[in-house]
C-alpha cells in the first residue's frame, strides 16, 4: 500500500480554511492513488485551540467538519487529527482524537492517551484521556494509532513519568506499525531528538513508525514538520523537509517486510542555526499572515546587532518592500548608529527613515525639571530615550499599519536589561528566545552561509554592545560579559540548576547569585512582555510560569 505523510499548516479556529487545505490534500492523494493519507494532530481546528474549546459553538463546528470529511471520503483512506465529543456522563466533554475515514464511513476513532500538561502544553485542562487500546484493521494489516505525546512516552520529558506506553500497548495487541499524528513544536535539537525517539521505539517494538507532523507558526510555537518513517530495524526510510508544507510517500508491504520511500526525495536536516533562523522566519511570517494584522513591519534600527538581525529575519520572512527601519539618534548615540543603519538598510534593500530624538529628549527634561531638578542623571533620564523611541515607532505603526517588531533578546529579557514601555514595545518578540551569543552566531551564519556575502555590516557585528543611554555606555559596564552571562542564564533557566550547582561549573558564586537574583527580580517585566517565538526548551512566555509575588528568591540567598 502507498502511505502519504502530509505536513499541512492549519490555522487555529479557521475550520473552513483548514477543510479547504485538507480537501486539497485528499484530492491530490486520490489522484496519486494513495491508499492512506496521514494528516497531523488537530488539523481540523489547529493546535492548540485552548479556551476556544470552552465554546460549544466552536466544538459543534469542528464536529460538523469531521462529518463532512467522513461523508466525502472515497477510496483513499484519510487519518486525521480532530476533536471528538465525550458522550460519557462524566469527565471533560471532548477528546483529542484521530479519525480514520474511507468511502463515506468512519473506520476508526482513537483518542490521545498521554495529554501533555507541562511547559507550553495544557491538554488535561481540555481533553479526557484515553485508557483503552485497540488496533485498527486496514487492508488486512493491523495498525496502531497514536497522537503526538503518546509516542514521547518517557523520552527525555521534564517532570513527568507516564505509566502507560501507548505504542507498546498497541504492538502487544498485534500492531504491525505505529502511526503518529503530531502537532510538535520546534525547539533546538528537536529534529535530532525526535529521530532518536522514533528510532528507539522502532528498535524496542520491532515495527515501523509512520510520523506526520504539522508545520507553521502559532504565536509562540512553530511546528517544524519533519514527518518521517522509520523502518522496523530503526532506519530512517525518508523524511519531509523542515518548515515547509510538503508530503512524503512510502510503499509498505508488511507481509513481504518491504518499506521504501517512493518520492519525493527525502530531505536532509539542516544545521541547527539554520533551523533556528527558519523557525523565526516562519514564526514571524505566519504571525502576520494568520492574524491578518498587517503585511508590513516597522522597527527601530540602532546600528546594533539585535535590530540588525531582526531586520534581516523580517526581510527574509516578508520581503524587503514590507520592512521599514527608523533610525532615531539621540545625543548619546555613536556616529555609527546612523551610518551603520544606513548601510544595513541599503544591503537589505529596506526603507529607512530618520527621526531626531535629541530635541524631544530635551523637551521631556525641561518638562520634568521642576520635579527632578536637583537629582543626578540616572535611570529616569536614561529610560526617557527608549520611551520616546517607542512612542515614535508606535505612532508610525498607528498611522501606516505596520506592526512594530520587538528586538529584545533573551539575555536582556532575563536580566531586565530593557525598559518597560520603551524598547519592550512591539507586537512580537522575534529574537526574544535567542541569547546574545546566539544573536551573534546567527548574524555570522547569515553573512557566511545564507547570503554568502557581508549583508549585516561587520561594523555592526564587531562593535561592543551598548544601549547608548548615557555617554560611552557599554553593556559590559552593568552586566558580565555575554560569554559568562549567557552560560549562567542557560544553566539557571533551561537546566534549572541551583546557584551552587552553577558555581560548581567554574563560575564565581557572587556573580551567579547576582544574576539569578536579577532573573527572578525582573519577572514583572516579562509578565508584561510581548509574545516571543520559542526556539529553546524553556522560553519566557506561557511555558514558564513564575509567581510575581514570592519570597523564594530572597529566602534562599
Ligand atoms: N515587582 C515589580 N512589579 C511591578 N513593577 C515593578 C516591580 N519592580 C520594579 N517595578 C517598577 O519598574 C520600573 C523600573 O523598570 P524600568 O522603568 O523598565 O527601568 P529599569 O529596569 O530601572 O531600567 C532599565 C535598565 O535597562 C537598561 N536598558 C534599557 C533599555 C535598553 C537596553 C538595551 O541594552 O537594550 C538596556 C538600562 O540601562 C537600565 O539598566 C520602576 O518604575 C518600578 O517601580
Ligand atoms: N538610535 C536608535 N535608533 C533607532 N532605534 C533605536 C536606537 N537605539 C535603540 N533603538 C531601538 O531600541 C532597541 C534597544 O536597543 P539598544 O540600543 O538599547 O540596545 P540593544 O538591545 O543592544 O539593541 P541593538 O543591538 O539593536 O542596539 C534597538 O534594538 C532598536 O530597535
Ligand atoms: N502536541 C503534543 O502532544 C506535543 C508534545 C510532544 N512532546 C512534542 O514535542 O512533540
Residue 487 maps to a domain: no
Residue 147 shares a structural domain with residue 226: yes
Write the pLDDT tens digit of every residue in 399-413.
999 999 999 999 999
pLDDT at 499 over 90: yes
Examine the residue annotation and report whether 495 is marked as an active-site residue of this protein.
no
Which element (helix H / strand E) includes 534? none
Q: Whose CA is nearest to atom 23 of ligand 2?
A: 306
Question: How many residues are present in the chain?
Answer: 557
Residue 32 shares a structural domain with residue 126: yes
Examine the residue annotation and report whether 534 is marked as an active-site residue of this protein.
no
Residue 341 shares a structural domain with residue 466: yes
Ligand 1 proximity of 412 Cβ (cutoff 6 Å): yes
Residue 432 maps to a domain: yes
CA of 452 to the centre of ligand 2 (A): 26
Of 207, 241, 265, which marks where a domain is finished?
265
- Parallel, antiparallel or unpaired: strands 228-230 and 105-111: unpaired
CA of 375 to the centre of ligand 3 (A): 54
pLDDT score at 473: 73
d(CA 393, CA 404): 7
Task: Given the residues 45, 135, 148, 418, select the one marked as catalytic.
Answer: 148
Residue 481 maps to a domain: no
Category of 301 on φ-ψ map: left (φ > 0), alpha (ψ -120 to 50) or beta: beta
CATH value at residue 331: 3.40.50.620
To test ligand 3's pocket by mutation, which of 10, 112, 149, 213 has the most ligand atoms within 8 angstroms of CB?
A: 149
Of 245, 265, 285, which marks where a domain is finished?
265
Q: Answer yes or no: are the C-beta atoms of 200 and 168 closer than 8 Å.
A: no
**406 alpha carbon, closest ligand:** 2
Three-class SS state of 338 = helix
Categorize the per-residue pLDDT at 333 as very low, low, confident or very high, splitting at 50, 70 and 90.
confident
CA of 176 to the centre of ligand 3 (A): 23
Q: Domain of residue 203: give its range.
A: 2-265
Categorize the per-residue pLDDT at 474 as very low, low, confident or very high, splitting at 50, 70 and 90.
confident
Residue 554 maps to a domain: no
Of 265, 295, 325, which marks where a domain is finished?
265
Residue 358 shares a structural domain with residue 434: yes
Residue 493 maps to a domain: no
User: Which set of grid coordinates corresponds to residue 423?
Assistant: 524598547
CATH value at residue 200: 3.60.110.10
CA of 422 to the centre of ligand 3 (A): 35
Give how many domains the chain has, as a whole number. Answer: 2
Q: Answer yes or no: are the C-beta atoms of 379 and 420 closer than 8 Å.
A: no
Q: Answer yes or no: are the C-beta atoms of 249 and 498 closer than 8 Å.
A: no
Categorize the per-residue pLDDT at 155 as very low, low, confident or very high, splitting at 50, 70 and 90.
confident
Residue 104 shares a structural domain with residue 30: yes
DSSP state of 324: E
Residue 311 maps to a domain: yes
Residue 343 shares a structural domain with residue 440: yes
**Position in ligand 3 atom list of the atom nearest CA 148:** 3
Residue 257 shares a structural domain with residue 287: no
Residue with cell 487529527: 81
Mean pLDDT of the chain: 96
Residue 309 shares a structural domain with residue 205: no
First to last CA, the chain: 63
**Chain mean position to CA 69:** 29
**What ipTM does this complex have?**
0.91
Write the pLDDT tens digit of every residue in 223-260.
999 999 999 999 999 999 999 999 999 999 999 999 99
pLDDT score at 557: 52
d(CA 131, CA 142): 19
Residue 237 shares a structural domain with residue 346: no
Amino acid at each position: 500500500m502507498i502511505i502519504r505523510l502530509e505536513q499541512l499548516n492549519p490555522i487555529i479556529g479557521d475550520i473552513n480554511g483548514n477543510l479547504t487545505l485538507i480537501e486539497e490534500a485528499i484530492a491530490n492523494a486520490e489522484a496519486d492513488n494513495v491508499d492512506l493519507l496521514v494528516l497531523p494532530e488537530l488539523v481540523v481546528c489547529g493546535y492548540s485551540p485552548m479556551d476556544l474549546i470552552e465554546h460549544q459553538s466552536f466544538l459543534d463546528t469542528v464536529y460538523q467538519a469531521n462529518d463532512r470529511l467522513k461523508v466525502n471520503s472515497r477510496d483513499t483512506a484519510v487519518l486525521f487529527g480532530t476533536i471528538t465529543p465525550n458522550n460519557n456522563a462524566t469527565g471533560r466533554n471532548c477528546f483529542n482524537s484521530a479519525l480514520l475515514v474511507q468511502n463515506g464511513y468512519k473506520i476508526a476513532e482513537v483518542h490521545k492517551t498521554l495529554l501533555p500538561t507541562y511547559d507550553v502544553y495544557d491538554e488535561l485542562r481540555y481533553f479526557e484521556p484515553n485508557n483503552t487500546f485497540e488496533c485498527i484493521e486496514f487492508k488486512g494489516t493491523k495498525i496502531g494509532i497514536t497522537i503526538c505525546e503518546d509516542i514521547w512516552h518517557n523520552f527525555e520529558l521534564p517532570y513527568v513519568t507516564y505509566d502507560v506506553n501507548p505504542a507498546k500497548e498497541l504492538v502487544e495487541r498485534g500492531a504491525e506499525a505505529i502511526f503518529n499524528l503530531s502537532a510538535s513544536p520546534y525547539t533546538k535539537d528537536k529534529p535530532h531528538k525526535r529521530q532518536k525517539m522514533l528510532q528507539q521505539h522502532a528498535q524496542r517494538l520491532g515495527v515501523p513508525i509512520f510520523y506526520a507532523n504539522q508545520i507553521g507558526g502559532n504565536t509562540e510555537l512553530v511546528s517544524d514538520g519533519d514527518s518521517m518513517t522509520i523502518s522496523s530495524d530503526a532506519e530512517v526510510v525518508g523524511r519531509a523537509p523542515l518548515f515547509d508544507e510538503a508530503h512524503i510517500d512510502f510503499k509498505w508491504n508488511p507481509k513481504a517486510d518491504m518499506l521504501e520511500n517512493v518520492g519525493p526525495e527525502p530531505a536532509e536536516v539542516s544545521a541547527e542555526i539554520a533551523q533556528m533562523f527558519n523557525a523565526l522566519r516562519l514564526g514571524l511570517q505566519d504571525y502576520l499572515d494568520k492574524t491578518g494584522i498587517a503585511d508590513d513591519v516597522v522597527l527601530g534600527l540602532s546600528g546594533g546587532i539585535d535590530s540588525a538581525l531582526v531586520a534581516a529575519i523580517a526581510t527574509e520572512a516578508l520581503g524587503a518592500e514590507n520592512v521599514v527601519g527608523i533610525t532615531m539618534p539621540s545625543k548619546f548615540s555613536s556616529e555609527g548608529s546612523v551610518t551603520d543603519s544606513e548601510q544595513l538598510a541599503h544591503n537589505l534593500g529596506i526603507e529607512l527613515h530618520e527621526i531626531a530624538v535629541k530635541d524631544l529628549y530635551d523637551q521631556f527634561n525641561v518638562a520634568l525639571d521642576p520635579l527632578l531638578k536637583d537629582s543626578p542623571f540616572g535611570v529616569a533620564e536614561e529610560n526617557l530615550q527608549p520611551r520616546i523611541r517607542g512612542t515614535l515607532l508606535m505612532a508610525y505603526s498607528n498611522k501606516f499599519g505596520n506592526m512594530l517588531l520587538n528586538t529584545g533578546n533573551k539575555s536582556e529579557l532575563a536580566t531586565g536589561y530593557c525598559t518597560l514601555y520603551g524598547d519592550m514595545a512591539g507586537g512580537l518578540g522575534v529574537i526574544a528566545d535567542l541569547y546574545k551569543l546566539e544573536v551573534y552566531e546567527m548574524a555570522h551564519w547569515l553573512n557566511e552561509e545564507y547570503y554568502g556575502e557581508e549583508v549585516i555590516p561587520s561594523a555592526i557585528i564587531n562593535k561592543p554592545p551598548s544601549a547608548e543611554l548615557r555617554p560611552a555606555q557599554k553593556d559590559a559596564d552593568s552586566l558580565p560579559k555575554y560569554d559568562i552571562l549567557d552560560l549562567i542564564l542557560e544553566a539557571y533557566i533551561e537546566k534549572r540548576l541551583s546557584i551552587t550547582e552553577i558555581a560548581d561549573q567554574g563560575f564565581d558564586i557572587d556573580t551567579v547569585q547576582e544574576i539569578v537574583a536579577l532573573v527572578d527580580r525582573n519577572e514583572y517585566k516579562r509578565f508584561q512582555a510581548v509574545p516571543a517565538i520559542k526556539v529553546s526548551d524553556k522560553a519566557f512566555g506561557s511555558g514558564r510560569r513564575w509567581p510575581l509575588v514570592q519570597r523564594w528568591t530572597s529566602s534562599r540567598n
